[in-house]
Amino acid sequence: MPLLLPLGLLVVLCLWGCEKQSDTVSLTVPPPIIPIAAGPYPEQPADPAWLNMVFLGAGGVHLQNAGQSVLADPFFSNPPIKDWILLRDLVVREDVIDRYLPATNDLDAILVAHAHHDHAMDVPYIAAQVDSTVKVYGSETLRNSLLSVIDPGRLVALNGQAGHWVAINDSLRIMPLLSGHAPHLLGRVFSSDRITQPLAQSPRTVMDWQSGQTLSFVLDFLASGQTRFR
C-alpha cells in the first residue's frame, strides 16, 4: 500500500498530457453519464467541394467528404483519474460512446495513431457498431493488442507501409508515417513498449496499454483518381 499512491501519482504525471477534452460548450447530462464537453454536431455538406472536420475530444477527429468519412483516434470513455492511480481496469463507457459517436453510415476507416488507452480502448466497441467491412489501421502493437476482440481481417498493421500509399477504397487513401509520441515527463514516454505477439485479452489497466510505434497519417480524399482534399 505505501507504494501504491506514489505509483498512482506517477501514472497521472506520465499520462496527463494525453488527456484533453474539447473546448466546446459543456452540457449537463443525467447520471450515470459524466458531463463531458459537447456541442451540436454539424451536418455533412452535400457539396463535394467542402470537407467537414470535427474535433471529437482527446485526439479524435471525424473527417467527411462526398459520402466518405474517416474516424481518427475516437475516444469518448475518458476513465476517471482515480482509476489510473489505483491501476483499476479501465471501463469502456458504452453509454457515452453511443451518445457522442458521429453517424457512421458513411464510415470507411478508423485510424489509430498509437495504442495508448486514450487512442485505442474505445475502438473495439466502435468497430462493433459500424459496418463489418470498415477496417482499423494502426501499428503492429495496436493489432496485437486488439486481436482478441476484433476480427483479424479488420486490423491492418502499417509499420511496414510507412511512406507508401495504402488504398482504403477508390476515393480514399492513406500514407502512414513513422512518428513519435510527445514526452510525458523529463523527456520520457511511458508505456511505450511494442507488443510483437497477440495478447490473449485486450489491455485492461492504464499501464497495460502500450503505445508501440506512433504513426501519423497523410489522408487523401480522391475524385477520379485525383486528390480533392489532403
What are the extents of the domains in the chain? Answer: 4-24+45-229
Question: pLDDT per residue over 180-198, tens digit each?
Answer: 888 888 888 888 899 999 9
Residue 35 has pLDDT above 50, yes or no: no
Three-class secondary structure of residue 198 per DSSP: coil
79 neighbors 181 (Cβ within 8 angstroms) = no
Residue 24 confidence (pLDDT) above 80: no
- At 40, the pLDDT band (50, 70, 90 cuts) reads low
| pLDDT for 45 | 59
- How much is the pTM? 0.81
What is the chain's length? 230
The confidence score (pLDDT) of residue 204 equals 95
pLDDT band at 42 (very low <50, low <70, confident <90, very high): low
Q: In the 8-state DSSP scheme, what is residue 152?
A: G
Task: Categorize the per-residue pLDDT at 214 as very low, low, confident or very high, splitting at 50, 70 and 90.
Answer: very high
d(CA 54, CA 186): 32
Confidence of residue 5 (pLDDT cuts 50, 70, 90): very low
**Domain 4-24+45-229 CATH class label:** alpha beta
| Alpha carbons 91 and 83: distance in angstroms, whole number | 9
pLDDT score of 153 more than 90 = yes
Which three cell numbers mark 146?
486488439
Could you tell me which residues are beta bridge partners of residue 227?
Answer: 222
DSSP-assigned letters across all residues of 180-207 = -PPPSBTTB-SS-----S--SS---STT
pLDDT, residue 50, reads 84
Q: Which pLDDT band holds residue 51 (cuts at 50, 70, 90)?
A: confident
pLDDT tens for each residue of 54-77: 889 888 999 999 889 999 999 999
What is the Cα–Cα distance from 179 to 202, expressed in whole angstroms? 24
Q: How do residues 83-140 score in pLDDT, each as one tens digit? A: 888 888 999 999 999 999 988 889 999 999 999 999 999 999 999 999 999 999 999 9
Q: Average model confidence (pLDDT) for the chain?
A: 84
Cβ atoms within 10 A of the Cβ of 15, count?
21
Per-range mean pLDDT, top range of 39-53, 149-163, 179-193: 149-163
pLDDT at 8 over 90: no
Provide, rounded to the nearest whole percent, the portion of the chain with pLDDT above 90: 60
Proportion of the chain in helix, strand, coil states, percent, rounded to 5: 20, 25, 55
